[in-house]
Structure 1
Amino acid sequence: MIKEMSDKDELIDAQKQVIGILFEVIKRLQANNDLDEEYFQIISKEQKDEIRIKEIQNERKENAKIVGRLLEQLET
């Protein structure tokens, strides 16, 4: 009986971790979508705001790295 409770608790904890990771993945991918939109607005207006463009590119790269690490966690 105690082992069953422990197994169920472990399963619940694992499910919570997966849900947390997936939530973070979705959040980061949505952030990249928002950055894409801003990026294309800047480009389409032919603004030469190179600083913001570089910030957007850097933030997108960081989000992609984090998503990669989070998805690796799901594999293990």
Structure 2
Amino acid sequence: MSETEKDELIDAQKQVIGILFEVIKRLQANSDLDEEYFEIVTNKENNETRLNEILNERKENAKIVGRLLEQLEV
């Protein structure tokens, strides 16, 4: 394997690691949001605005995770 091929492989590995790190970060954020969401719901707090913010943020994180995973398919 030539030095160029090794460098390309290392770069590809770094990209995959970066993508996976971001995926894990987004999934963990959604998990944290889930906890907050259920805490608000179970305490019967009337905080509709925050619930909507949580749902929107979770949706955005899910979209980003989907796009990142598509990058790994290439």
**Could you say what the CA RMSD is over the residues aligned between the two structures, in angstroms?**
0.8
Instruction: Measure the CA separation in 1 of the matches of 2:44 and 2:61.
Output: 25
Unaligned residue ranges in structure 1 (runs of 5+): none
TM-score, normalization by structure 1: 0.96
TM-score, normalization by structure 2: 0.98
Q: Which has the larger radius of gyration?
A: 1
**Superposition deviation, residue 11 in structure 1:** 0.1
**Superposition deviation, residue 69 in structure 1:** 0.1
Q: Residue in 2 aligned with 1:62?
A: 60
1:42 aligns with 2:3: no
Map residues 15-34 of structure 1 onto 2, 5 A cutoff.
15-34=13-32
Instruction: Measure the CA separation in 2 of the matches of 1:31 and 1:48.
Output: 23
Give the share of equivalent positions with the same residue, in percent: 74
- Of residues 3-12 and 24-33 in structure 1, the stretch that sits farther from structure 2 once superposed is 3-12
Q: Which amino acid aligns with 1:15?
A: Q
Instruction: Measure the CA separation in 2 of the matches of 1:47 and 1:74.
Output: 41
**Superposition deviation, residue 47 in structure 1:** 0.6
